[in-house]
Structure 1
Amino acid sequence: MKVEKIRDLTLVSIDNQNKMVISCDSCGSIGLKSGDVFKVDPFYVGRFTARVALLEVLCSGANIVCITNAICNEMNPTGKQIIKGIKEELKLLDLDDVVLTGSTEENFITTSTGLGVTVIGIAKEDKIKVNNIDCSCILVSIGIPKVGNEIDLDNDIQIASYKTLDKLLNTQGILEIVPVGSKGIMYECEQLAINNGLNLQIYENSNIDLYKSAGPATVLVAAVKDNCLKDIKDIENLNVIGRLIKGEK
Structure 2
Amino acid sequence: MCPSSGHLWKEEELNAMYIDDPVKLLKKVRDLTLMAVNDEQYMVIACDSDGGIGSKPYDTVKVPEEILAQFAVRVPLFELVSCGAKPFMVIDCLAVEMDPSGEKILAEIKQYVREAGITDDIQFTGSSEENVPTVQSGIGVTILGLADRKGFPVGASRGEDQVVCVGIPKSGPDYDIHPDDPDIVTLRELIELRKSAVVHDLLPAGSKGVQYEAEELARSVGKVFVGRPDVSLDLKQSAGPATCVLLTCGENDLHIINKLVHSPVTVIGELKEPGV
Q: TM-score, normalised by structure 1?
A: 0.93
- CA distance 1:248–1:230, shift in 2 (3 Å): farther
* Deviation of the 1:24 alpha carbon: 0.2
1:33 and 2:60 equivalent? no
CA distance in 2, matches of 1:10, 1:92: 23
* Deviation of the 1:157 alpha carbon: 1.7
**Would the aligned equivalents of 1:17 and 1:125 in 2 still touch at CA under 8 Å?**
yes
Who is 1:16 aligned against? 39
Q: Which has the higher strand share?
A: 1
Question: Does 76-85 or 147-156 show the bigger shift?
Answer: 147-156
For residues 116-131 of structure 1, what are the structure 2 equivalents within 5 Å?
A: 116-131=140-155
* Deviation of the 1:96 alpha carbon: 2.1
* Deviation of the 1:247 alpha carbon: 4.4
- CA distance 1:41–1:228, shift in 2 (3 Å): same
CA distance in 2, matches of 1:37, 1:155: 21
What SS does the aligned partner of 2:266 have? strand
Who is 2:80 aligned against? 57
Question: Does 69-78 or 90-99 show the bigger shift?
Answer: 90-99
What are the superposed Cα offsets for residues 194-216 of structure 1, whole Å, 9 maximum, x if unpaired?
Answer: 22221110010112111111111
* Deviation of the 1:227 alpha carbon: 3.6
Paired-residue identity, %: 34
Q: CA RMSD in A?
A: 1.7
Question: Does 163-172 or 189-198 show the bigger shift?
Answer: 163-172
CA distance in 2, matches of 1:67, 1:82: 13
1:207 and 2:214 equivalent? no
* Deviation of the 1:151 alpha carbon: 4.4
Q: TM-score, normalised by structure 2?
A: 0.85
**Would the aligned equivalents of 1:171 and 1:231 in 2 still touch at CA under 8 Å?**
no
> Counterpart of 1:37 in structure 2: which amino acid?
T
Who is 1:86 aligned against? 109
**Would the aligned equivalents of 1:143 and 1:159 in 2 still touch at CA under 8 Å?**
yes
* Deviation of the 1:153 alpha carbon: 2.4
* Deviation of the 1:226 alpha carbon: 3.4
Aligned residues: 249
Segments of structure 1 that go 5 or more residues without pairing to the other structure are none
The structure with the largest alpha-carbon Rg is: 2
**Would the aligned equivalents of 2:89 and 2:118 in 1 still touch at CA under 8 Å?**
no
